[in-house]
Copies of this chain bind each other. A is one copy, B any other.
């Protein structure tokens, strides 16, 4: 645990939410803050090696008529590149939630090498203690 850590429970798997998660992680890492990311459900699914290059689409909020659109399309949103860069900027751990792995029937070895391993809620909460946590 660290008082200035930023911890992200990353549940969502659309390109826009993965992107804001990655930019928050990058910002904190650049400030020298330790970053802990726990991948659950659809964020975990997004990190599957065989699907990682696919367009993850946009949040439900984007489905309304008249809503703005990403100027270069959703496939251009650089969420993965931003996560890669974040990991080079500072101290950052990306773990797959063991419970979500079981529910989706995914094995940790089928995930992108950016993922450091598997971990549970209890150890994540302990690492996050004293710092700030966001659920995305």
Contacts and interface: CB of A to CB of B under 8 A. Distances in A.
A36 interface: no
A42 B15 CA distance: 13
B132 A135 contact: no
Interface residues of A, number: 59
Given A9-B24, A104-B68, A122-B27, A61 B4 contact: no
Q: How many copies does the complex hold?
A: 3
B125 A27 contact: yes
A23 interface: yes
Contacts of A66: 51, 54
A13 B132 contact: no
Contact of A41 (B41, B51, B61, B133): B61
A62 B40 contact: no
A4 B131 CA distance: 11
For the complex of A and B, 10 pairs with smallest distance between CB atoms: A42-B61, A27-B121, A60-B60, A71-B105, A68-B104, A13-B61, A134-B135, A45-B68, A27-B122, A27-B125
23 contacts: A6-B125, A9-B24, A11-B17, A11-B59, A13-B67, A14-B60, A14-B61, A16-B41, A20-B40, A20-B100, A23-B99, A27-B121, A30-B122, A31-B125, A31-B126, A41-B59, A44-B68, A45-B68, A48-B68, A57-B64, A70-B103, A71-B103, A132-B133
